[in-house]
Amino acid sequence: MTTSFELREVRHEERALCWSGISEEFGTIEVRYPADGPMGSTTARVLGSAIPSTLLIGWSLFDDKPRLTGARLQLGGEEVQLRRRPWAVRRKGRALRITHDGNEYRCRAIRRKKYVLTRPGLAVTVTQSGVGTKRRRVQVVIDGPAVPVDISLAVLFSGVNRAQLTLGGAFRTGFSPILNLSMDSVQPV
């Protein structure tokens, strides 16, 4: 069974961006970045009528989206374990691993603006497209039986800097501390 829905980019307040839309199965969905979070951090938050609230707390020097290095994930108010291997050469090895409630998820980059969140029996593919504020969209394609937690985790990463899941992004992130280009650490989460 394959279903899909679309989120569109909306600008809230003075600076916050948001992907917002409605899914027939999961109701209203909103991904805000940067969202309210601890001082000195950059965050992305998912809110919805039928999905749990999800918050990724990271930091970013120049971007509104939090980075994965040193990030913390909260799902429904509880801390969720994140792991990744920043020096892996293959996409599968660089995938972000998320463990929640006995489920093992993997978030893997397909291209710069396309990624997939998987768990056994489910694949949620998210593709960003469009140029200009009124034309930007996120297409979410669900292949398999999904529960609200799956959707909340999948759409969250549309508001996160996923460059470290690509080979080029992993390379830049790995060498940035050596070249003193940013404050990133190379330690896996």
User: Residues 6 or more apart from 93 whose CB is under 8 A from it?
Assistant: 85
Quick: pLDDT tens for 13-31. 656 678 999 999 999 999 9
pLDDT at 171: 56
Q: How far apart, in whole angstroms, are the C-alpha atoms of residue 43 and residue 118? A: 23
pLDDT at 181: 44
Quick: pLDDT tens for 153-174. 999 999 998 888 887 665 565 5
Residue (of 175, 132, 149) closest to 53 by Cα position:
149
Q: How far apart, in whole angstroms, are the C-alpha atoms of residue 96 and residue 174? A: 16
Residue 188 has pLDDT above 50, yes or no: no
Instruction: Tell me what the pLDDT averaged over the chain comes to.
Output: 84
pLDDT at 187: 39
Residues in the chain, total: 189
Confidence of residue 93 (pLDDT cuts 50, 70, 90): confident
pLDDT at 139: 97
Q: Are 31 and 136 in contact (CB under 8 A)?
A: no
Q: How far apart, in whole angstroms, are the C-alpha atoms of residue 173 and residue 171? A: 5
Sign of the alpha-carbon dihedral angle for 52, 29, 100, 39 = negative
Beta strands in 34-164 (DSSP E): 42-48, 54-58, 72-75, 78-83, 96-100, 103-111, 114-119, 122-129, 137-143
Confidence of residue 85 (pLDDT cuts 50, 70, 90): confident
